Amino acid sequence: MGKGSRVWKITGVVSVAATLMLVCGFAYAVSDVIFPVPPDTGSAGLENAASDERQVAPGNMDVTAVGDSLAKGTGDDTGSGFARAVSELLQKQGVDSKLVNNLGINGLTTSGVLPMLDEDGVQYALRQAGVIILSIGANDLFAGADQMTGLPDEDQLLNKMKQAEERFVKIVEEIRKINSEAQLVYVMLYNPFSDLEEVREQGNRIVQEWNQFAAAVMASTGQGLAIPTSDLFTFNAGRYLAEDHFHPNRDGYQAIAERIVQALAVTTVSGEERK
Amino acid sequence: MRALNNQIMGLVQNETEKMIKKKRFYVVLLVLLVLVPVFSYAQMKQAESKREKYGTDWRREVQQAITDNQNSLGSDRVPEEWKKYRQVYIQQMKYYLEHNVNPAAPGGVTFTREFLDNAATLFIPLLIMGLGSDIVSAERTTGTIKMLLTRPVRRWKILLSKLITLLMFVSLTVLAVFVICYLISGMFFGYKGFQLPVFTGFRLDGASVDLSSVHAVPQWKYLFMQAGLVWYVGVVVAILALMVSVLVRSTAASIIIMMSSLIAGNILTNMASAWTSAKYLFMVNLGLTDYLAGTPVPIEGMSLGFSLIVLGIWAACSLIVSFLVFTKQDILN
Amino acid sequence: MKLESHADRAANLPEVVLQVDRLKKVIGKKTIVENVSFTVREGEIFGFLGPNGAGKTTTIRMLVDLIRPTEGSVSICGHQVNRNPELALSYVGSIVENPEVYSYLTGYENLEQFARMQPGISKERLKEVAALVGLDARIHDKVKTYSLGMRQRLGIAQALLGAPKLLILDEPTNGLDPKGIKELRQFIRSLADQGMAVVVSSHLLSEIQLMCDRVAIISRGKVLASGPVAELIRNSSSYVAWQLVPRVRGEEALRALGCQLIEHPGEVLDDALLTGSMEGSILTEMREEEIRELIPQLVKAGIQIQGAHKINPTLEQLFLEMTERESIE
């Protein structure tokens, strides 16, 4: 009986011990889920441990994009958008750069960005970047508009624009609060309806007005850049717009990225010269 | 009483010996020893490719996951249930970021925790079903039931001893899954991580998450709770398998019945949210660990208490049926 | 029950071990077994005879609590199987149909399994039983590697483990070679000689005849006859093979004397019996007393009697008579 009974004894003892343990685990889990302990000071301690936040090193050219579908890269079949393209172009020039995060969300408006900037993850991603690319505003102005319905009437639009402008200023301030060192690139609007005769005029006016305002805001911030895009799409809509006639396509994003890099390059060189 | 205990003890020893000599439990261990390294390797590859993009910076990774999910929320192509699921996920991830806790710090312990979450509804029940669904029917298929039932032992004692043995092996299986998972994944990811904090207590109210009772527990405690819940699921599955094994004469048939109902459960949880009375089916309620992790429930109105009661009722009914049938049944073949 | 056993003792009869009383089993709408009663006493080998499907197995299974009787009762050593199976079955060792054991265990482990199911079986008893059936050399091998005969012996070993008062063997010679059958027969006899009551079921009539003291013949769920084997045979008419010269006149004379001649002997008797010296004999069916009266009358009629052989009926004939030539196999 020797061997058989030894196996039996081991099996018996181990399984009884395991069962007891598992029953305890079960009881603990049930009580924890059904009658949870209110959060104690334990989790506060965790937050303290979190503060290993470092400031960006000077000369850092890592990219974070924030904003709407353009920031995200909607319409680009490769999915990279201008954020990744910028980082790749910089790498080609021998600059050490990576994409920190692409925080672009389809359909985001100025009022959507503001609460985002309070989030820890977003703040963290922004802090990690040497280059922050912002694309916002189009959804505020053209929301609900498409090629069929055209644009809402002028008064309403102006009213909307005014509110959006206020928020835009706030956004730039907030970003600057989070990261004062990084170069902040604003990708200005283009008129997505340039191939639609009825609304082209109106669209152009609005875009122009907004861009002027945005450029002024960016100029007033340190390390601010406003990159114009509307000229790209004025006559080359077919070449640079995606099938939806609204978002840029791969080439469009690439063209925008090249402009951004051109604008950045100066500062990079000077940054290196500083060294 | 003592004599009864001794008798039951002897019977349990018999069943244990049969279970071991039939090599069923070895098969379970073997399956784990083969599959866990495969999963670990796949996980490692995935971690490697992430590391290329994000380095060791998990915050960026989590933030990107949040953004990606936010983007899918805008799409009309994504079903509403998935959106709910993603909204909850986003809020949980934000919570982790706010508290600067990596929700998936690499390590053997984290792997074990994630593996368990995924294995709780199908993989472990399947293993247990493999142990249990022929515990009576095999005796009938081979005819040894006649030897068993012509002994001077009451039939309910025979079945009770089988049940006890099965429950013992449920515990051993759950234990084995944990130990093997930890030991093997540790070779890939390291053996650390017992003290890492994990958040639990997310309460879901539709698509929004009630964070008031969220609290951090060290990962070992979380594993401990997970194991307990998985064990409960295992016990229920074992009892159901026992019943099927009593009712169905052929081993193959009882395995097929158990297997298809488990898989049906998995399919149902993915699509049954519209059919609310499906929540009374046992197979939809096997994901007990989801309540711990705060994953949205497959069907409105489910909660841990609800699932425990549903599973408990199923188990109790199966026990009653098993014992009634087994003690009354004529052995004709 | 008690009264009866006192009466038995007074009559100096061995004690009743198994008492089967008006068993009936209905499954669905079909009556499988009806009104089956018999008793088996200590030291007796009781044969349970019937073709396949006659209800033998159902009856045997009711004896050991595998099937619940619809009506009637089984008591073993005074304990009803239905009411008190734990006590009643502790006196029984059985093999129902094939000796099914766990093939993934060794012979010894199998015996251990069964030993744990009844109290008071020592390790020594295991070894003793293994030796008794001649399996001690291979008892630690996996049953998978056993021949059918060895499995049979293991089955008997497990049945004997608890030193039962009643041994029930369902078709014990299935799958055994002639030598094995002979050994088994002797073995069972020796067990009975030690006082064990044995119930053997079989569809092989010759087996029962060779092995059993008493027999019950069952067909279509009913007991057709039961009693000591010798008595059953004596009560039935026997055949007489007459060798008369001249044959034709002899036949006429027999007919004239009111005898029933059997035209086709092959139908009632084994052909082998009628070859050789009995070639060409005239077959009649009559009781023993009639023969003595017939001989002088034949002589008077001037017929020479070269031989008159009485052929005792086998159980087979008995059985054929009773079941109206129902097929056995």
- The amino acid that residue B39 corresponds to is F
CATH at residue A221: 3.40.50.1110
Mean confidence (pLDDT) of chain C = 83
Residue A52 CA, distance from chain mean position: 23
Kindly tell me if the per-residue pLDDT of A1 is higher than 70: no
Nearest residue of chain B to residue A29 (CA atoms) = B225
For chain A, say whether C109 makes contact (Cβ under 8 Å).
yes
Greatest mean pLDDT range, A5-9, A57-61, B7-11, B318-322: B318-322
For chain C, say whether B154 makes contact (Cβ under 8 Å).
yes
- Arithmetic mean of pLDDT, B168-189: 93
In a domain, B64, yes or no: no
**What's the pLDDT score for residue B184?**
92
Q: Which of C57, C46, C63, C29 is nearest to C212 (CA)?
A: C46
- Arithmetic mean of pLDDT, C264-272: 65
Beta-carbon pairs below 8 A across chains A and C: 4
Kindly tell me if the per-residue pLDDT of A267 is higher than 60: no
- Pairwise CA distance, residues B317 & B322, whole Å: 8
- Pairwise CA distance, residues B89 & A16, whole Å: 38
In a domain, A132, yes or no: yes
Contacts of A7 in chain B (CB under 8 A): 17, 20
The whole-angstrom distance between A21's CA and the closest CA on chain C is 29
Q: What percent of chain C has pLDDT over 90?
A: 35
Chain C residues 242-281 within an 8 A CB cutoff of chain B: none
In a domain, C317, yes or no: no
- Pairwise CA distance, residues B245 & B137, whole Å: 5
Q: C216 with C283, same domain?
A: no
Q: What percent of chain B has pLDDT over 70?
A: 98
What single string gives the DSSP state of each residue in A1-23? -HHHHHHHHHHHHHHHHHHHHHH
**What's the pLDDT score for residue C273?**
62
Nearest residue of chain A to residue B220 (CA atoms) = A25
Facing residue for C89 by CB, picked from B147, B152, B328: B152
For chain B, say whether C116 makes contact (Cβ under 8 Å).
yes
Q: How confident is the model at residue B1 (pLDDT cuts 50, 70, 90)?
A: low
Q: What percent of chain A has pLDDT over 70?
A: 81
For chain A, say whether C112 makes contact (Cβ under 8 Å).
yes
Cis status, amide bond into B106, omega within 30 of 0 = no
Q: How confident is the model at residue C211 (pLDDT cuts 50, 70, 90)?
A: confident
Which tens digits make up the pLDDT trace of C141-167? 999 999 888 888 899 999 999 899 999
Kindly tell me if the per-residue pLDDT of C325 is higher than 80: no
Identify the chains in contact with C, defined as 3+ C-beta pairs within 8 A: A, B
Which residue out of A1, A3, A8 would a mutagenesis test of the C interface target, given it has the greatest number of C Cβ atoms within 10 Å?
A: A1
Q: A68 with A162, same domain?
A: yes
In a domain, B62, yes or no: no
Q: What is the number of other CB atoms lying within 10 angstroms of the CB of residue A81?
A: 29
Q: Is B21 exposed, middle or buried (0-12, 13-18, 19+ CB in 10 A)?
A: middle
pTM for the model: 0.81
Indicate if ipTM > 0.85.
yes
| Structure token pair of residue C175 | 């799958």
For chain B, say whether A18 makes contact (Cβ under 8 Å).
yes
Total domains present in chain B: 1
Q: What is the number of other CB atoms lying within 10 angstroms of the CB of residue B307?
A: 23
Identify the chains in contact with B, defined as 3+ C-beta pairs within 8 A: A, C
Identify the chains in contact with A, defined as 3+ C-beta pairs within 8 A: B, C
Contacts of A14 in chain B (CB under 8 A): 172, 175
Q: How confident is the model at residue B250 (pLDDT cuts 50, 70, 90)?
A: confident
The whole-angstrom distance between B128's CA and the closest CA on chain A is 14
In a domain, B95, yes or no: no
Q: A75 with A172, same domain?
A: yes
Which tens digits make up the pLDDT trace of A127-144? 888 899 999 988 888 765
Total domains present in chain A: 2
- Arithmetic mean of pLDDT, A87-92: 88
Q: Which of B145, B172, B304, B306 is nearest to B238 (CA)?
A: B172
CB spacing of C109 vs A1 below 8 angstroms? no
Q: How confident is the model at residue C209 (pLDDT cuts 50, 70, 90)?
A: confident
Q: Going by DSSP bridges, is the β-strand pair C166-170/C92-95 parallel, antiparallel, or unpaired?
A: parallel
In a domain, B23, yes or no: yes
Q: C138 with C249, same domain?
A: no
**What's the pLDDT score for residue C183?**
87
Which residue out of C56, C76, C102 would a mutagenesis test of the B interface target, given it has the greatest number of B Cβ atoms within 10 Å?
A: C102
In a domain, A76, yes or no: yes
Lowest-pLDDT range of A93-97, A153-157, B96-100: A153-157
In a domain, B55, yes or no: no
- Token pair 């069907």 is at which residue? B299
CB spacing of A25 vs B201 below 8 angstroms? no
Mean confidence (pLDDT) of chain A = 81
**What's the pLDDT score for residue B234?**
95
Beta-carbon pairs below 8 A across chains B and C: 83
Q: C166 with C246, same domain?
A: no
In a domain, B304, yes or no: yes
- Pure H helices in A117-229: 120-127, 138-142, 154-178, 197-220
CB spacing of B63 vs A122 below 8 angstroms? yes
Total domains present in chain C: 2
Kindly tell me if the per-residue pLDDT of B200 is higher than 50: yes
In a domain, B82, yes or no: no
- Token pair 């034709």 is at which residue? C248
**What's the pLDDT score for residue A269?**
44
CATH at residue C246: 3.30.70
Kindly tell me if the per-residue pLDDT of C206 is higher than 80: no
User: What is the extent of the structural domain holding A31?
Assistant: 10-37
Contacts of A38 in chain B (CB under 8 A): 212-213, 215
Which tens digits make up the pLDDT trace of A41-74? 444 444 433 444 455 566 778 899 999 888 888 8
Q: C160 with C113, same domain?
A: yes
**What's the pLDDT score for residue C208?**
82
Q: C120 with C220, same domain?
A: yes
Give the contacts of B114 (CB within 8 A, at least 6 positions apart): B104
Distances (CA, A) of B56 to A98, B59, B93, C219: 14, 9, 17, 85
CB spacing of C123 vs A4 below 8 angstroms? no
**What's the pLDDT score for residue C70?**
93
CB spacing of C116 vs B11 below 8 angstroms? yes
Which tens digits make up the pLDDT trace of C13-26? 788 999 999 999 99
| Structure token pair of residue A192 | 């997505």
The length of chain A is 275
Q: C132 with C187, same domain?
A: yes
Kindly tell me if the per-residue pLDDT of B209 is higher than 90: no
Which residue out of C23, C32, C33, C66 would a mutagenesis test of the B interface target, given it has the greatest number of B Cβ atoms within 10 Å?
A: C66
CB spacing of A46 vs B100 below 8 angstroms? yes
For chain C, say whether A4 makes contact (Cβ under 8 Å).
yes
Q: Going by DSSP bridges, is the β-strand pair C45-49/C30-41 parallel, antiparallel, or unpaired?
A: unpaired
Which tens digits make up the pLDDT trace of C26-58? 988 899 999 999 999 999 999 988 887 888 889
Facing residue for B147 by CB, picked from C89, C92, C114: C114
In a domain, C322, yes or no: no
In a domain, A2, yes or no: no
In a domain, C324, yes or no: no
Q: C214 with C246, same domain?
A: no
Kindly tell me if the per-residue pLDDT of B186 is higher than 80: yes
In a domain, C214, yes or no: yes
Q: Is C64 exposed, middle or buried (0-12, 13-18, 19+ CB in 10 A)?
A: buried
Facing residue for A101 by CB, picked from B67, B291, B304: B67
Q: A158 with A243, same domain?
A: yes
Kindly tell me if the per-residue pLDDT of B245 is higher than 90: yes
The whole-angstrom distance between C83's CA and the closest CA on chain B is 11
Q: A111 with A219, same domain?
A: yes
CATH at residue C51: 3.40.50.300
Q: How confident is the model at residue C327 (pLDDT cuts 50, 70, 90)?
A: very low
Q: C71 with C11, same domain?
A: yes
CB spacing of A26 vs B229 below 8 angstroms? yes
In a domain, C327, yes or no: no
Facing residue for B168 by CB, picked from A19, A36, A101: A19
Q: C288 with C148, same domain?
A: no
**What's the pLDDT score for residue C191?**
92
CB spacing of A38 vs B212 below 8 angstroms? yes
Kindly tell me if the per-residue pLDDT of C300 is higher than 60: yes
Q: How confident is the model at residue B105 (pLDDT cuts 50, 70, 90)?
A: confident
For chain A, say whether C125 makes contact (Cβ under 8 Å).
no
- The amino acid that residue C26 corresponds to is V
Backbone angles phi, psi at C217, to 5 degrees: -105, 125
The whole-angstrom distance between C145's CA and the closest CA on chain A is 20
Q: A109 with A206, same domain?
A: yes
**What's the pLDDT score for residue A2?**
60
In a domain, A58, yes or no: no
Which tens digits make up the pLDDT trace of A177-223? 898 888 899 999 888 777 677 777 778 888 888 999 999 998 888 78
The whole-angstrom distance between A235's CA and the closest CA on chain B is 31
User: What is the extent of the structural domain holding C246?
Assistant: 237-312
Longest pairwise C-alpha distance within chain A: 98
Q: C226 with C249, same domain?
A: no
Contacts of C118 in chain B (CB under 8 A): 151-153
Q: C63 with C211, same domain?
A: yes
In a domain, B59, yes or no: no
Nearest residue of chain B to residue C106 (CA atoms) = B21
For chain B, say whether C288 makes contact (Cβ under 8 Å).
no
**What's the pLDDT score for residue C275?**
63
In a domain, A78, yes or no: yes
Q: A117 with A187, same domain?
A: yes
For chain A, say whether C142 makes contact (Cβ under 8 Å).
no
Which tens digits make up the pLDDT trace of A8-17? 899 999 999 9
Residue C217 CA, distance from chain mean position: 8
- Arithmetic mean of pLDDT, A90-106: 86
Kindly tell me if the per-residue pLDDT of C328 is higher than 50: no
Contacts of C109 in chain A (CB under 8 A): 4
User: What is the extent of the structural domain holding B282?
Assistant: 2-34+105-328
Kindly tell me if the per-residue pLDDT of A26 is higher than 90: yes
CB spacing of A101 vs B74 below 8 angstroms? no
Nearest residue of chain C to residue B14 (CA atoms) = C113
- Pairwise CA distance, residues C299 & C312, whole Å: 24
For chain C, say whether B2 makes contact (Cβ under 8 Å).
no
CB spacing of A11 vs B16 below 8 angstroms? yes
In a domain, A84, yes or no: yes
Lowest-pLDDT range of B12-16, C164-168, C182-186: C182-186
Q: C126 with C227, same domain?
A: yes
CB spacing of C67 vs B330 below 8 angstroms? yes
What single string gives the DSSP state of each residue in B296-310? PPSSTT--HHHHHHH
Q: Which residues of B255-286 are buried (b: 16+ CB within 10 A; e: fewer)?
A: bebbbebbeebeebbeebbeeeebbebbbbbb
Which residue out of B147, B162, B327 would a mutagenesis test of the C interface target, given it has the greatest number of C Cβ atoms within 10 Å?
A: B147
